[in-house]
Amino acid sequence: GNSVTQMEGPVTLSEEAFLTINCTYTATGYPSLFWYVQYPGEGLQLLLKATKADDKGSNKGFEATYRKETTSFHLEKGSVQVSDSAVYFCALSIKAAGNKLTFGGGTRVLVKP
Amino acid sequence: DTAVSQTPKYLVTQMGNDKSIKCEQNLGHDTMYWYKQDSKKFLKIMFSYNNKELIINETVPNRFSPKSPDKAHLNLHINSLELGDSAVYFCASSQQGLPNYEQYFGPGTRLTVT
């Protein structure tokens, strides 16, 4: 079946530090890959996405590159802010599976001033 | 002009009761979903409807019954609530057929069963 594995948190950083959250996947077929963010007390928001190998998704200073050879989609940001404190979810979807999202377990990130 | 809305936001009830959660989207999407997020933040698909037709039904107890009166609404009815049903339930919608579709999520309904 399809699955997503991401690093467990919490990840605690100082402001302006570099953030990396690892994400690897297992899928039958050709998945689209996503990073969603959940701020405290809120629903999920799409942060970025990539739909084919070597695509790079980017948004709000975050980037992730679809690496088919390593089945990975690691999230990076060069300089985090306190406002980036949230739970980050890596996810995949496959059209043949009804486009349902399969999520990783989430990584809580806490950025301290 | 909320894109995906859910009611109620919070729901506290006792074991054995029956409750419903409502979801509406005003994005014109043809597909809607229910996800469950447990206390450890793990998210899992429950159901999906496309144009009022059930297309995804994961291994969810029969006590959970989704209903889609039209493509803009997807409600979730839960019978005989159990302690383990306590979770946050998220509704989402998307438009099938678009090459780079995106799922838009509602704010969630926090269900607490006592």
pLDDT in tens, A35-51: 999 998 888 999 999 99
Interface of chain A toward chain B, CB-CB under 8 angstroms: 32, 36, 38, 42-46, 49, 51, 87, 89, 98-103, 105-106, 108
The beta-carbon neighbor of B102 closest among A38, A43, A46 is: A46
Contact B41 A106 (CB under 8 A): yes
Residue A98, pLDDT > 80, answer no
Higher-confidence residue of B57 and A66: namely: A66
So what's the pLDDT on residue B100?
56
Contact A98 B48 (CB under 8 A): yes
Residue B1, pLDDT > 80, answer no
Residue A100, pLDDT > 90, answer no
Contact B90 A44 (CB under 8 A): yes
- SS3 label, residue B84: helix
CA B91/CA B87 separation, integer angstroms: 13
So what's the pLDDT on residue B79?
96
* Residue B103 Cα distances to A19, A78, A92, A100, B52, angstroms: 25, 27, 12, 9, 17
Residue B66, pLDDT > 90, answer yes
Find the mean pLDDT for residues B6-28.
Answer: 96
Determine contact, residues A34/A49, Cβ cutoff 8 Å.
Answer: yes
So what's the pLDDT on residue B22?
97
Residue B21: pLDDT band with limits 50, 70, 90 = very high
Find the mean pLDDT for residues A4-11.
Answer: 92
Instruction: Quick: pLDDT tens for B67-80.
Output: 999 999 999 999 99
Residues 6 or more apart whose Cβ sits within 8 Å of residue B28: B95
Find the mean pLDDT for residues A88-113.
Answer: 90
Residues 6 or more apart whose Cβ sits within 8 Å of residue A38: A44, A45, A86, A87, A88, A89, A106, B41
So what's the pLDDT on residue A95?
76
Residue B37, pLDDT > 70, answer yes
Collect all residues of chain B within an 8 Å Cβ-Cβ radius of residue A32. 100
Residue A90, pLDDT > 70, answer yes
Determine contact, residues A96/A2, Cβ cutoff 8 Å.
Answer: no
So what's the pLDDT on residue B114?
97
Q: Where are the beta strands (DSSP E) in A16-104?
A: 19-21, 23-26, 32-38, 44-50, 56-59, 62-65, 75-77, 86-93, 101-103
Residue A94: pLDDT band with limits 50, 70, 90 = confident
